[in-house]
A and B are shown apart, each in its own frame.
Chain A
Amino acid sequence: MKLKGRAWVTGDDIDTDQIYHGQYLPITDPHEMAMHAMEYVPGMENFPREAKSGDLVVAGKNFGTGSSREHAVLCLQYLGISCVIAKSFSRIFFRNAVNLGFPVIECPGLSDTLKTGNVVEVDIDNGKITDLTTGESFQGIPASGLEKEIAGSGGLIEYLKKNAR
């Protein structure tokens, strides 16, 4: 499956309080969570209002470090973000994304030429990432094994229902 959208580029070590601040934890409706996505990332205060369905988030190293809050994935998913590409992910964020069937692709070789506003195409089956604005392409690490099966089922609950306990 191929995803195509505008990129929102952020730096290294974007933590879960920047993606979804602790003050919003009492919220349980994911549509409401979406209105606070990335709000604490400097320069991205307007992200929830300006991001369009199908846009992608492109990050540096260690994206999603910090809390186990699934809100950090849900807020992006319900805002309509199609995928997060990062040089590396923090483990809990990555796991929560797999469990929710939300595409995340690790790509250590991402280049800084990929800027906010560039149009990017991602093939989530083979991990190929193409910056259609510059013509550059990068090889990401596609999901495999159990993670692929879980994500491919639409998430952990669907997977468990299909594969009776």
Chain B
Amino acid sequence: MTIIEKILSRSSGKQVKPDDRVWAVVDLAVIRDFGGPNVVIEYEKIFGDRPVWDPSKIALTFDYQAPAKVSEVANNQRICREFAKKQGIHRLFDVNSGIGQHVLLEHGLIRPGAVVVGTDSHMNLLGAAGCFATGVGTTDMVATWYSGKLWFKVPETIKVNFKGKYSFPTTAKDLTLYFISRIGPDKPNYKSLEFYGEVINGFQVHDAITLTSMITEINGKIGFVPTNHQIFEFLKSRIGSAPEPVSADADAVYSESIDVDIHGLPPQVACPHTPGNVRPVSQVKGTHIDFAFIGSCTNGRYEDLSEAAAVLKAGGKVHPSVQLTIVPATIEVARKCLKAGHYETFLEAGAMVTNPGCSLCTTGHHGVLGKGDVLISTSNRNFLGKLGKGSQVYLASPATVAASAVKGEIADPGEFLR
């Protein structure tokens, strides 16, 4: 069996195969300050004061607008806080915490093999930790709070083998952008993916998160990075005991097996207006930019920010016509950056460093774009108008974004590191 088949077999209590419809027992159901208030309102409209199925299996993470900047969101956050109190839900990570999935990982609430649902389409980045996590809408979440179970169609699995190696300043983000542009959004629709290869074996948690966080952009259900030694040790230290990784059987059946040659891969950039519109940095360098953003659930971890810091240290100041915003994924990441001296580097370079959260990605905070503005960002989406009507967004790695911020145009980070 594949990884997803094993997880859904355990959670549904029967042997599953692709295309089966199953009712899976949910291990953790998470709402945010976006989507979440709708869940609370809808739940109370239908079920009134009826206790949720299990308050210990519900978490709230506020990252959409942290802290609230408009009164509607302040009211929505209040609705969620009051509901948590009333229902005895203790796992509330408020606006001072950071991006939900990352906070849950850091707090040891994510175990391999678990079924996790959340009101966030990037919930599935937790495939980096070997659990089946998926983004759901209001109705799915209300149903879960009521019954503790949710229906799923068992997806087929695509096996992806990465061949070869690359070296910094090429990073997991470049591998990810290259991969999603090669596979496209049609083939993985409603499929699970499993990633293998030497480079995957060497992945740290943050690399695995970057790759799995962009499976949504190719319509995949989830992508799994098999739990290697580094990921195992991270999870063990957070959970407080040895996790039990789920791995595919040797005779697992895949819908197809794809080889992707990433040997010597140069840095990649996704051009407007789809994440799959990817070119090597050499083809787009020199493109004018006005804004740069380093952060998000895709690239907001300590190691991501450290890569940006290395480039900024080598490159010096942010270009006078560029505004660079740096947002740590969580408060833990922020503290690590502070200890490492990165805040000094960032502020010295002229960057703005904000409190943790989803920031620009949700147009929640820290700046939206005007007509004609061009942003280069480490996030995962560059949809038309997402960050402001008439604006353009390029996606790249923290190193490439930092290099571009210094040059005032899209730049190859290698230029600063040679």
Q: Digitize B292-335: 1 where CB-to-A-CB distance is under 8 Å, 0 elsewhere.
A: 00000000000000000000000000000000000000000000
Closest chain A residue to B38, Cβ basis: A28
Closest chain B residue to A101, Cβ basis: B139
**B37, A13: Cβ atoms closer than 8 Å:** no
**B38, A88: Cβ atoms closer than 8 Å:** no
Given contacts A28-B37, A62-B185, A145-B21, contact A160 B146 (CB under 8 A): yes
> A155 at interface (Cβ–Cβ under 8 A)?
yes
- Cross-chain contact of B139 among A15, A90, A155 (Cβ < 8 A): A155
> B181 at interface (Cβ–Cβ under 8 A)?
no
Which among B68-76, B340-348, B399-407 touches the partner chain?
B68-76
A159 to chain B, nearest CB (A): 9
Count of chain A residues with a beta carbon within 8 Å of a chain B beta carbon: 40
**A160, B147: Cβ atoms closer than 8 Å:** yes
Closest chain B residue to A64, Cβ basis: B219
| A69→B120 CA distance, assembly (Å) | 8
**A15, B120: Cβ atoms closer than 8 Å:** no
| A90→B149 CA distance, assembly (Å) | 23
> A73 at interface (Cβ–Cβ under 8 A)?
yes
**A99, B381: Cβ atoms closer than 8 Å:** no
**A156, B384: Cβ atoms closer than 8 Å:** no
**B383, A17: Cβ atoms closer than 8 Å:** yes
Q: Digitize A47-88: 1 where CB-to-B-CB distance is under 8 Å, 0 elsewhere.
A: 000000000000001100111111101000000000000001
**B185, A96: Cβ atoms closer than 8 Å:** no
Which among A1-9, A18-26, A116-124 touches the partner chain?
A18-26
**A91, B189: Cβ atoms closer than 8 Å:** yes
**A68, B35: Cβ atoms closer than 8 Å:** yes
Count of chain B residues with a beta carbon within 8 Å of a chain A beta carbon: 46
**A66, B385: Cβ atoms closer than 8 Å:** no
- Cross-chain contact of B138 among A62, A70, A91, A150 (Cβ < 8 A): A70
Chain B contact residues, CB within 8 Å of chain A: 21, 34-35, 37-38, 41, 46, 64, 70, 72-73, 76, 119-121, 123, 135-140, 142-143, 146-149, 151, 185-186, 189-190, 216-217, 219, 221, 274, 362-363, 381, 383-386, 389
**A157, B46: Cβ atoms closer than 8 Å:** yes
| A95→B123 CA distance, assembly (Å) | 16
| A21→B46 CA distance, assembly (Å) | 27
**B186, A88: Cβ atoms closer than 8 Å:** yes
22 A–B contacts, CB within 8 A, in A order: A13-B185, A21-B386, A25-B35, A26-B73, A28-B38, A65-B219, A66-B383, A68-B120, A68-B121, A68-B123, A68-B136, A69-B34, A69-B35, A70-B38, A91-B221, A92-B121, A95-B136, A96-B140, A146-B151, A156-B151, A157-B142, A165-B149
A164 to chain B, nearest CB (A): 9
A141 to chain B, nearest CB (A): 13
Q: CB-CB < 8 A to B363: which residues of A?
A: 22-23
| A81→B2 CA distance, assembly (Å) | 40
Beta-carbon contacts under 8 Å, A85-122 to B: 88, 90-92, 95-96, 99-100
Q: CB-CB < 8 A to A22: which residues of B?
A: 362-363, 386
> A138 at interface (Cβ–Cβ under 8 A)?
no
Q: CB-CB < 8 A to B146: which residues of A?
A: 157, 160, 165
| A13→B121 CA distance, assembly (Å) | 16
| A100→B148 CA distance, assembly (Å) | 19
**B34, A25: Cβ atoms closer than 8 Å:** yes
- Cross-chain contact of A67 among B37, B70, B121, B384 (Cβ < 8 A): B121
B128 to chain A, nearest CB (A): 18
- Cross-chain contact of B389 among A40, A92, A95, A147 (Cβ < 8 A): A40
**B136, A17: Cβ atoms closer than 8 Å:** no
A43 to chain B, nearest CB (A): 12
**A26, B72: Cβ atoms closer than 8 Å:** yes
| A146→B20 CA distance, assembly (Å) | 10
**A165, B147: Cβ atoms closer than 8 Å:** yes
Known: A21-B386, A70-B137. 9 other contacts (CB 8 A): A17-B383, A17-B386, A25-B35, A28-B41, A66-B216, A68-B135, A68-B136, A88-B186, A145-B21
Closest chain B residue to A65, Cβ basis: B219
Closest chain A residue to B140, Cβ basis: A99
**A96, B121: Cβ atoms closer than 8 Å:** no
Q: CB-CB < 8 A to A90: which residues of B?
A: 189, 219
Closest chain B residue to A23, Cβ basis: B363
Q: Digitize A127-154: 1 where CB-to-B-CB distance is under 8 Å, 0 elsewhere.
A: 0000000000000000001110010000
Q: CB-CB < 8 A to B189: which residues of A?
A: 62, 88, 90-91
- Cross-chain contact of B381 among A21, A61, A66 (Cβ < 8 A): A66
Q: CB-CB < 8 A to B138: which residues of A?
A: 70
**A96, B137: Cβ atoms closer than 8 Å:** yes
Q: CB-CB < 8 A to B34: which residues of A?
A: 25-26, 69
| A147→B135 CA distance, assembly (Å) | 18
- Cross-chain contact of A18 among B46, B123, B137, B385 (Cβ < 8 A): B385
Given contacts A22-B362, A68-B120, A160-B146, contact A91 B381 (CB under 8 A): no
**B385, A40: Cβ atoms closer than 8 Å:** yes
B4 to chain A, nearest CB (A): 14
Q: CB-CB < 8 A to B41: which residues of A?
A: 28
| A26→B386 CA distance, assembly (Å) | 16
| A26→B216 CA distance, assembly (Å) | 23
**B362, A156: Cβ atoms closer than 8 Å:** no
Q: CB-CB < 8 A to A13: which residues of B?
A: 185, 274
